[in-house]
Structure 1
Amino acid sequence: MDTATSAQQDQIEKREPILSMVDRVSELCFGLFMALTFVGAVKAVTAGEDAGRKMFLAALGCNLAWGLADAVMFLVRTLAVRAQRLTLALSVKRERNHAAAVQTLRDALPKSLEPLVEDTELERIRARLAAVSTLPSRARFVFDDFLGALGIFMLVVISTFPVALPFLVVADRTVALVISRVLTLVMLFGAGFALGRYTGFSAMKAGFAMTTVGIVLTVAIIALGG
């Protein structure tokens, strides 16, 4: 195997996921809460033999709309962040005063990291930016951005099914409601568990914490007439 092929394989292996674990868990929980809240609101006003189907379609339509809005805002946020970073890079590259360029980099650091980064390290970054032959004239989307937006849309939409599907397949609305809420809490526990493992926090504690949030939300929905 030649060096170029090896380098390409290393780059593929090190490629970061399009959506981080935090993004995936957040969007899944967002969809669950949206569907749960919507089902709680619609349950009181739906009646008739096809009430379950109406409730399912209403919840699905709600999450389709919110999934689309969330996906679009993901693209807006991604482009805005990329543009801000490009503006910073161009500003540093064009700055002739090295001290001023280093200060620009320091001003862009998060407050928590600023005391940990020395000016000598920022100077090395400035020098590398100055040595770059060309930088993009403006921020642009890349293919992975659209994959990320699609992933967000799908997560929000898919999260509708454990909440709303029981009303479509179970005739007894009371039983369907119990199944819906149990499935929701199970998924919330799984989401919290995964987030806990990702962040280094206790996975079980994170799972139960997320489940508790779901229970509190469910009680609130019931108290409000859901």
Structure 2
Amino acid sequence: MGTRVLDPIDRNSEILFGLFMVLSFTGTLSVATAGEKEVREMLIAAIGCNLAWGFVDAVMYVLRNLVTRARQARLWREVIEARGTEPAHQLIAQELGPLASALGPSDLERTRQWMVAQPEHVAPVAELTRQDLVGGVGVFLLVFASTFPPVLPFFFFTEVRPAMRVSAAIGIAMMFLCGHEWGRYAGLRPWRAAFVMAALGAGIQAVIIALGG
């Protein structure tokens, strides 16, 4: 395929989505009243929730790709079938957005001619592809797998309070790593982005614990 199916934005977004979902369960246990039964019910609910939402998010990922390619296919067809060069140039410029201001009529015309000269198989097609399915499976696995690191402490600690605190620390560490990768991908300072994401995670955890823990 040449490129990764899921870019860092997709990967980290899915991890964070699953992480926030599971932390909303682990963080709202009551340390005063939660016993073994409540912890077990919480674990079942957290795993079941991320299992369901991982599937939903995977389906939405595939549908989003199909809709995007359908739009691209329509644009390609409209440019090829445009009556005159000016309408075609307008379509290309609209798709490029602000970048089009740097292009003159000759640049837009070269783009139009390139599109016209391409063989039919090069044009976008609104069909389900293997890459869509692989990406959907990847989305599901990321959301579902992100469930387990924060719930592991509940298998090893007999008391709820330390389990909740270790779970929160694991969640913040995962957010730190996601922020670092986001920062590196965006060309920002990775460590600064990581600390900002970790601080955001700590704040979210504080709110969750205050409300339910």
1:188 and 1:210 in contact (8 A); partners too: yes
Q: TM-score, normalised by structure 1?
A: 0.86
Which of 94, 112, 117 is residue 131 of structure 1 equivalent to? 117
1:71 and 1:152 in contact (8 A); partners too: yes
2:15 corresponds to: 28
Shift of the alpha carbon at 1:37? 1.2
Distance (whole Å) between structure 2 residues aligned to residue 125 and residue 162 of structure 1: 49
Which of 143, 164, 173 is residue 186 of structure 1 equivalent to? 173
1:113 corresponds to: 99
What are the residue-to-residue correspondences of 1:77-226 with 2, within 5 Å? Answer: 77-110=64-97, 112-134=98-120, 138-226=125-213
Give the aligned length. Answer: 211
1:3 corresponds to: none
Distance (whole Å) between structure 2 residues aligned to residue 23 and residue 137 of structure 1: 21
Distance (whole Å) between structure 2 residues aligned to residue 174 and residue 219 of structure 1: 14
1:64 and 1:157 in contact (8 A); partners too: yes
Q: TM-score, normalised by structure 2?
A: 0.91
Task: Please list every run of 5 or more consecutive structure 1 residues that lacks an aligned counterpart in the other structure.
Answer: 1-11
Distance (whole Å) between structure 1 residues aligned to residue 134 and residue 105 of structure 2: 38
Structure 2 vs 1, CA of residues 105 and 139 (structure 1 numbering), >3 Å: closer, same or farther? same
2:34 and 2:160 in contact (8 A); partners too: no
Superposed CA deviations along residues 98-135 of structure 1, whole A, max 9, x for unmatched, are: 1211111112222x312122222221121122223425
Distance (whole Å) between structure 2 residues aligned to residue 147 and residue 127 of structure 1: 34
**Is the deviation greater in 90-99 or in 129-138?**
129-138
Across the aligned residues of Structure 1 and Structure 2, the Cα RMSD in angstroms comes to: 1.9
Shift of the alpha carbon at 1:137? 9.0
Distance (whole Å) between structure 2 residues aligned to residue 175 and residue 100 of structure 1: 65
1:194 and 1:203 in contact (8 A); partners too: yes
Match of 1:70, as an amino acid? D
Distance (whole Å) between structure 2 residues aligned to residue 143 and residue 137 of structure 1: 15
Q: Give % identity.
A: 39
